[in-house]
């Protein structure tokens, strides 16, 4: 029997007509909605929506399911909704993190805090710069892509982001599958790269971890935003390595394909960092708990 969470997500998609609109209503990310919908469709045994450029169109099976469960799920949601019992917090929270991770995963969590009267200030940037701001008491909390080493900062692991090597289907078809298995560097060498930065930080780490050397490929584009990197890959500019939470919607839609399936996926740990000895702030404490809870869903993306 499908869980209440899966049915709630299904109804929001059914009523909103798109995955992104449903994600906004639920206060979660679009990849989370995509994943929950895929699990429900697996349990039901058939597709519930047809994906289109403008959103999704429900199948006949979806219409029947919505008519059967809609009223019951709405009643349960009203009974379980904690909104009426959560106290107003007030105050201000200053949080920093990488633009992509903040935009796609953290900001939906921040929206729930804003509804409780908290004023939220977000700062987007590089981890080292944000940790300096945290140590100087200009931020209350940082989601850091590097392990903080400053004496003034306390940090805990929040979530591991998994990296995937992707290309559009047209470029993927130019790769010799057998050679990719036995000589991956040579099999991929003719394909241009789309990089996040001149130093190829993510690509270089993936190639060294999985293939034992730097990528010899030509660089076609440098885009200092991972969402832009994905857009370039979808458009056929080249191949790249991306966090799975960024690539997931395009993978699900067939706009890109995964080129390499390692035995152990390359991971990078993200940390939740606060300033050591900072004054107690109830809103910051609530946000830390909310982020820890949300990270359990992020692990499934």
CB-CB contact of 95 with 110 (8 Å) = yes
- Per-residue pLDDT reduced to its tens digit, 132-166: 999 999 999 999 999 998 888 989 999 999 999 99
Alpha helices in the chain (DSSP H): 4-16, 19-26, 30-44, 60-80, 99-101, 107-114, 127-135, 169-172, 177-182, 184-188, 201-211, 226-234, 244-253, 282-298
Query: What pLDDT, on a 0 to 100 scale, did the predictor assign at position 6?
Result: 85
Please list, in sequence order, all residues whose beta carbon lies within 8 angstroms of the beta carbon of residue 121, skipping any fewer than 6 positions away.
92, 93, 94, 95
Q: Is the pTM of this model over 0.75?
A: no
Helix (H, G, I), strand (E, B) or coil at 69: helix
- Separation of alpha carbons 118 and 61, rounded Å: 42
What's the pLDDT score for residue 301? 53
Tokens 């000895």 sit at which residue? Answer: 277
CA–CA separation, 5 and 77 (whole Å): 10
Q: Tell me how far the alpha carbon of residue 142 is from its chain's centroid.
A: 17
Q: Comparing C-alpha atoms, which of 98, 77, 86 is closest to residue 15? A: 77
108 CB-near residues (< 8 Å, 6+ apart): 23, 24, 27, 28, 29, 294
Q: Please report the pLDDT score of residue 278 as a whole number.
A: 75
pLDDT of residue 84: 45
What does the alpha-carbon distance between residue 89 and residue 290 come to, in Å, rounded to a whole number?
14
CA angle 199, 146, 234 (to 5 degrees): 50
Per the structure block, which two tokens stand in for 121?
């200030």
User: Which pLDDT value is given to residue 76?
Assistant: 65
Nearest CA-CA partner of 147 in 242, 298, 266, 269:
269
Q: What are the pLDDT digits (tens) for 79-103? A: 555 544 556 677 889 999 999 999 9
pLDDT for the residue 77: 59
299 Cα distance to chain centroid: 9
Retrieve residue 289's tokens. 């708990």
CB 168 within 8 A of CB 203: no
User: At 166, which helix (H) or strand (E)?
Assistant: strand 153-167
| Spans of the chain, pLDDT less than 50 | 83-84
Three-class DSSP category at 86: coil
Q: Burial of 218 by CB count in 10 Å (0-12 exposed, 13-18 middle, 19+ buried)?
A: exposed
Rg of the chain over Cα atoms, rounded to whole angstroms, equals 21
CA atoms within 13 A on the CB side of 90: 0
């Amino acid at each position: 029997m499908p869980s209440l969470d899966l049915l709630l997500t299904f109804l929001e998609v059914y009523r909103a007509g798109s995955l992104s609109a449903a994600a906004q209503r639920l206060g979660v990310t679009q990849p989370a909605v995509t994943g929950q919908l895929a699990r429900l469709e697996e349990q039901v045994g058939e597709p519930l929506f047809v994906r289109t450029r403008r959103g999704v169109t429900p199948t006949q099976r979806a219409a029947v399911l919505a008519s059967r469960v809609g009223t019951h799920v709405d009643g349960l949601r009203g009974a379980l909704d904690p909104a009426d019992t959560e106290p107003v917090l007030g105050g201000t929270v200053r949080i920093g993190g990488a633009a992509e991770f903040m935009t796609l995963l953290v900001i939906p969590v921040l929206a729930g805090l804003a509804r409780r009267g908290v004023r939220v200030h977000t700062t987007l940037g590089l981890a080292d710069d944000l940790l300096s701001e945290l140590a100087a008491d200009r931020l209350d909390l940082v989601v850091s892509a590097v392990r903080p080493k400053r004496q003034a900062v306390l940090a805990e692991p929040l979530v591991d982001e998994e990296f995937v090597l992707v290309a559009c289907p047209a470029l993927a078809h130019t790769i010799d599958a057998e050679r990719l298995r036995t000589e991956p560097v040579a099999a991929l060498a003719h394909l241009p790269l789309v990089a996040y930065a001149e130093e190829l930080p993510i690509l270089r780490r993936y190639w060294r971890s999985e293939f034992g050397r730097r990528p010899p490929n030509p660089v076609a584009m440098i885009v200092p935003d991972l969402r832009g990197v994905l857009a370039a890959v979808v458009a056929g500019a080249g191949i790249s390595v991306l966090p799975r939470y960024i690539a997931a919607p395009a993978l699900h839609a067939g706009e890109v394909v995964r080129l390499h399936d390692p035995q152990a996926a390359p991971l990078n740990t993200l940390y939740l960092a606060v300033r050591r000895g900072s004054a107690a702030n109830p809103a910051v404490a609530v946000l830390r708990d909310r982020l820890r809870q949300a990270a359990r869903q992020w692990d499934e993306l």
